[in-house]
Structure 1
Amino acid sequence: MAPITCKVADPFGAGIQGIYVILECKDQYGNISSKYESFSDDGGNVHYWFDFTPMGKSVELRPRVINVLNVPRVTLTFLPGLKGSCFPWASIQTDVYLSDEGSHEFLLALHPNCASYHLEHAMFTAFCQGNSEMECDTTPEYEMIDFNGSSRSPSPLQLPPPVIKPVRRADPPKRRVGKRKLTLDSDDDSRRLSKRNQG
């Protein structure tokens, strides 16, 4: 099983509660196969998702862990503007190809009252055996998520460009060239260029 989770935090890592998040699972052509929604909890985490319900339609809400093992692409939309006017962004969206098997974690760090945020993605190897959602639901949360762990890789947008080392080629053979010396003739105040070959 490969769950997808999120965390919304401030610049100091403290979770922000009540941020609305929409998850769209897509096929390789970008067609939406399923759609889910959730709110960040008091720690800023989104571990469980609910089926997306259109306005005015009442359905039974059942929390679940979403398995993206066979989902090639997802779109995550964060709507911090619904939380309050302290966030200047109406929505923040990312569209990601999930090329590797494993759990996917997204960390959105919001900087209130300024125009900056950053979004990180981390992929971990699958930790739940089998394919049933029930097996993963029984896994303790501290084993499921570790946003402060050292295994998180930096965002590709923050990495420096790759360094290309030049290939050293063999030095060209040295040629024997005569040396030139500029001398000043003190008798007639004229300059002469005399060439002396050494060798």
Structure 2
Amino acid sequence: MGFRLSKIYTRTGDKGETGLGDGRRVPKDHPRIEAIGEVDTLNSQVGVLLAGLAEHSLQHPGLNELIEVLEPCQHRLFDLGGELAMPAYQALDTTEIERLETAIDRWNEELGPLENFILPGGSSLIAQAHVCRCLARSAERRCQQLNAQEPLAGVGLAYINRLSDLLFVAARLIARRQGIAEILWQAAAKPQS
């Protein structure tokens, strides 16, 4: 593969516009750029989660399965960013969605039913998985805002939705595999009348 970037700065964006893969120039706050940015942020935070999982996998070998499932997600998020930057480009297909659904079903079977709302905490890994889940939802909202203006082809919206589901279940599985009790939500006491 040849060089993709020979120069990091081009000065072409100094006036608040950026180029898309199809040659169009759009404002940096265009919904397409917002969606690309949210997907990129999510990808970076998934990288933080994967680094944490790798650091803890010696003490908790059960975390390796999460690494195996999540590592390809970084590549697929990059693919989704490519689809957003080049609207005619399609990289994702339903096979990847099915892969996530298979992992979700397998992990849910181990976890059993959720009987209460849970809070995002208990360990740094659990909290990071929830940060990623929240960012996946944010990326999904940005992609949907773009979709309302410029309909998106392909399965990107379904993929990002399923990824947020996977990250929620991953947070629960991390807690289980680390031997940490989930933090259950406790409703505020009702005011006395």
Q: Give the TM-score category using the shorter length.
A: under 0.3
When normalised by structure 2's length, the TM-score is 0.24
Greater helix percent: which structure?
Answer: 2
Greater strand percent: which structure?
Answer: 1
When normalised by structure 1's length, the TM-score is 0.24
Larger relative contact order (C-alpha < 8 A, sep ≥ 6)?
2
